[in-house]
């Protein structure tokens, strides 16, 4: 039991002093923020402001192409 305790405390000390773990945790936080920002921008179900603007632009371009061809 004492060996397990020593190994666990040594692992925690190593984890605390390991900077690579901190960097990867920061990347996880940044990735979560990016996902949240994209989710807010596009909205759930395609109802966000960017989704609406893209849809309107594509509709406008399609209408102009159809009127030019027809």
Residue 42, classified by CB atoms within 10 Å of its CB into exposed (0-12), middle (13-18) or buried (19+), is middle
Residue 54: pLDDT band (50, 70, 90) is: confident
31-44 mean pLDDT: 81
- What confidence score (pLDDT) does residue 16 get? 66
Tell me the residue range of the domain where 61 lies.
Answer: 2-69
Number of domains in the chain: 1
Res 64: pLDDT: 92
Q: Mean per-residue pLDDT for 29-52?
A: 80
Is residue 21 scored above 90 in pLDDT?
no
pLDDT for res 70:
67
For the chain, how big is the Rg over CA atoms in Å? 26
């Amino acid at each position: 039991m004492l060996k397990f305790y020593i190994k666990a405390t040594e692992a925690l000390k190593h984890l605390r002093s390991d900077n690579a773990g901190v960097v990867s945790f920061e990347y996880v936080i940044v990735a979560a923020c990016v996902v949240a920002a994209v989710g807010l921008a596009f909205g759930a179900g395609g109802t966000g402001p960017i989704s609406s603007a893209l849809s309107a632009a594509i509709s406008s371009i399609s209408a102009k192409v159809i009127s030019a061809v027809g």
